[in-house]
């Protein structure tokens, strides 16, 4: 089938191919199916590949100049043995990326069913890659520096590609939504707004770039095909970011709750009025080296509350993005169970 035939088919049955394309994210485009001018695209020098080729030569020279020690060789063998034991995950990855055979609606259903698993797999694979890179750097420090250089080159090249911003934008929207569900803080809304802007920019500039590189009579098809390729990838990027937002938000919430956990006193207080509560609070502040000024004491139903709205830096409370620390309270009930309350507010509320 010629390029012209493929283009006409996309134009005549666009709706059917639009839906079917959703279920074919694991299929890579071929040279004959792309309306982009391959002559103008492929003749452009790829500085990333040239730079990585130079770094690969550096790896070879390094291995020849400084062979592995016995300990490094043994650790490498152990690493390969562990990877072989878990080689089944390669088959799992292929299964996750495949949408099966059959009608388009069956492939669509398979895609939607596997989408949460794909997002979870992306997070696990990210953690695995990070841990593996750290261990490899610890075992092979010089080779680790070379791998870091390759990573930086690949990152810089990716930042020149519009599709990178589509994935980053969709991921930021998902991450912001995930954190908002757990923490309910304004910074999550800001992240979603920035993510939406990056996603829009990636789609716009990417479609424009595809149209510019395409042949004159195929510019519209090239722009539409680019947009569709990104639309297919957006749900996975969004859901991966959403899971990451839930994970990070849960960790931050657990840290906040640990700061407010209950502490036990050696003995219960016996204050019956505000004057006795003030005396107990003064003694408590002195005993625990807390700020001795800028506070006031409340006494209600046997509970002593020490309030600080000044000199809050003395408490060394970890900052929260998008929030201002406005107060710290230490609550001392009559039963001796003490807990701390930290008060926050968005910066635009004011007091």
Give the count of domains, the chain.
Answer: 3
> What pTM, to 2 d.p., does this model score?
0.58
**Are residues 209 and 337 located together in one domain of the fold?**
no
Residue 46 has pLDDT above 90, yes or no: no
Average pLDDT for 146-154:
89
- The rounded distance, in Å, linking the Cα atoms of 259 and 253 is 10
Q: How far is CA 230 from its chain centroid?
A: 19
**Are residues 253 and 190 located together in one domain of the fold?**
yes
- The rounded distance, in Å, linking the Cα atoms of 191 and 238 is 13
**Are residues 156 and 38 located together in one domain of the fold?**
yes
Sequence-distant (≥ 6) Cβ neighbours of residue 227 within 8 angstroms: 203, 206, 207
Domain boundary (259, 279, 308) is at 259
Diameter of the chain measured on Cα atoms? 93
Q: Are 330 and 296 in contact (CB under 8 A)?
A: no
**Are residues 254 and 270 located together in one domain of the fold?**
no
Domain ranges, residue 202: 165-259
**Are residues 52 and 119 located together in one domain of the fold?**
yes
Among the residue ranges 81-85, 108-112, 185-189, 264-268, the one predicted with the least confidence is: 264-268
**Are residues 45 and 109 located together in one domain of the fold?**
yes
- Inside any domain, residue 64: yes
**Are residues 135 and 223 located together in one domain of the fold?**
no
Residue 284 has pLDDT above 80, yes or no: yes
Sheet holding 324-332, edge to edge: 263-264, 337-345, 324-332, 303-308, 295-300
Domain boundary (135, 160, 185) is at 160
> Is 316 or 56 the better-scoring residue by pLDDT?
56
> Is 142 or 6 the better-scoring residue by pLDDT?
142
- Inside any domain, residue 230: yes
Q: What's 315's DSSP letter?
A: G
Residue 267 has pLDDT above 80, yes or no: no
- Inside any domain, residue 350: no
- Inside any domain, residue 11: no
**Are residues 25 and 113 located together in one domain of the fold?**
yes
At residue 201 the predicted structure's pLDDT band, cuts being 50, 70 and 90, is very high
**Are residues 150 and 35 located together in one domain of the fold?**
yes
Tokens (6 digits) for 44? 């452009």
Residue 134 has pLDDT above 90, yes or no: no
- Inside any domain, residue 351: no
Residue 18 has pLDDT above 70, yes or no: no
Residue 270 has pLDDT above 80, yes or no: no
- Inside any domain, residue 127: yes
**Are residues 291 and 311 located together in one domain of the fold?**
yes
- The rounded distance, in Å, linking the Cα atoms of 243 and 178 is 7
Sequence-distant (≥ 6) Cβ neighbours of residue 110 within 8 angstroms: 23, 99, 100
At residue 110 the predicted structure's pLDDT band, cuts being 50, 70 and 90, is confident
**Are residues 64 and 133 located together in one domain of the fold?**
yes
- The rounded distance, in Å, linking the Cα atoms of 198 and 166 is 6
pLDDT at 336: 63
**Are residues 29 and 154 located together in one domain of the fold?**
yes
Percent of the chain topping pLDDT 90: 17
Domain boundary (259, 294, 311) is at 259
**Dihedral over Cα of 215, 5, 24, 170: its sign:** positive
Tokens (6 digits) for 221? 């098809």
- The rounded distance, in Å, linking the Cα atoms of 191 and 176 is 5
Among the residue ranges 48-57, 122-131, 260-269, 311-320, the one predicted with the least confidence is: 260-269
Four-CA torsion 55, 131, 167, 97, nearest 10 degrees: 100
- Inside any domain, residue 8: no
- The rounded distance, in Å, linking the Cα atoms of 31 and 292 is 75
Q: Are 24 and 107 in contact (CB under 8 A)?
A: yes
> Is 269 or 344 the better-scoring residue by pLDDT?
344
């Amino acid at each position: 089938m010629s390029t012209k035939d493929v283009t006409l088919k996309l134009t005549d049955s666009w709706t059917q191919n639009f839906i079917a394309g959703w279920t074919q994210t694991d299929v890579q485009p071929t040279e004959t199916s792309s309306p982009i001018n391959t002559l103008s695209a492929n003749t452009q020098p790829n500085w990333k590949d040239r730079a990585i080729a130079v770094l690969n030569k550096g790896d070879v020279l390094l291995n020849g100049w400084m062979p592995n020690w016995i300990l490094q060789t043994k650790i490498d063998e152990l690493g390969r043995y562990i990877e072989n034991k878990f080689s089944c995950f390669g088959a799992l990855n292929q299964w996750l990326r495949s949408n099966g055979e059959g009608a388009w609606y069956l492939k669509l259903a398979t895609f939607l069913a596997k989408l949460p698993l794909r997002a979870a797999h992306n997070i696990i694979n990210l953690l695995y890659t990070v841990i593996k890179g750290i261990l490899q750097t610890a075992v092979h420090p010089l080779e680790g520096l070379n791998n870091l250089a390759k990573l930086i080159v690949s990152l810089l090249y990716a930042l020149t590609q519009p599709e990178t911003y589509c994935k980053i934008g969709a991921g930021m929207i998902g991450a912001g939504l995930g954190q908002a569900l757990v923490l309910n803080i304004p910074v999550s809304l800001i992240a979603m707004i920035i993510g939406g802007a990056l996603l829009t920019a990636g789609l716009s500039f990417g479609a424009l770039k595809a149209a510019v590189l395409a042949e004159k009579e195929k510019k519209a098809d090239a722009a539409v095909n680019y947009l569709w390729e990104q639309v297919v990838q957006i749900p996975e990027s969004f859901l991966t970011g959403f899971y990451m937002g839930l994970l990070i938000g849960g960790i931050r919430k657990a840290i906040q709750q640990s700061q407010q956990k209950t502490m036990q006193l050696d003995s219960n207080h016996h204050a019956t009025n505000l004057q006795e509560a003030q005396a107990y609070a003064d003694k408590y502040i002195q005993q625990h080296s807390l700020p001795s000024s800028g506070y006031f004491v409340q006494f209600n139903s046997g509970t002593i509350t020490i309030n600080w709205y000044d000199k809050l830096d003395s408490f060394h409370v970890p900052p929260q993005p998008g929030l201002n620390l406005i107060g710290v309270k230490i609550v001392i009930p009559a039963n001796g169970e003490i807990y701390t309350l930290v008060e926050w507010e968005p910066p635009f509320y004011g007091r």
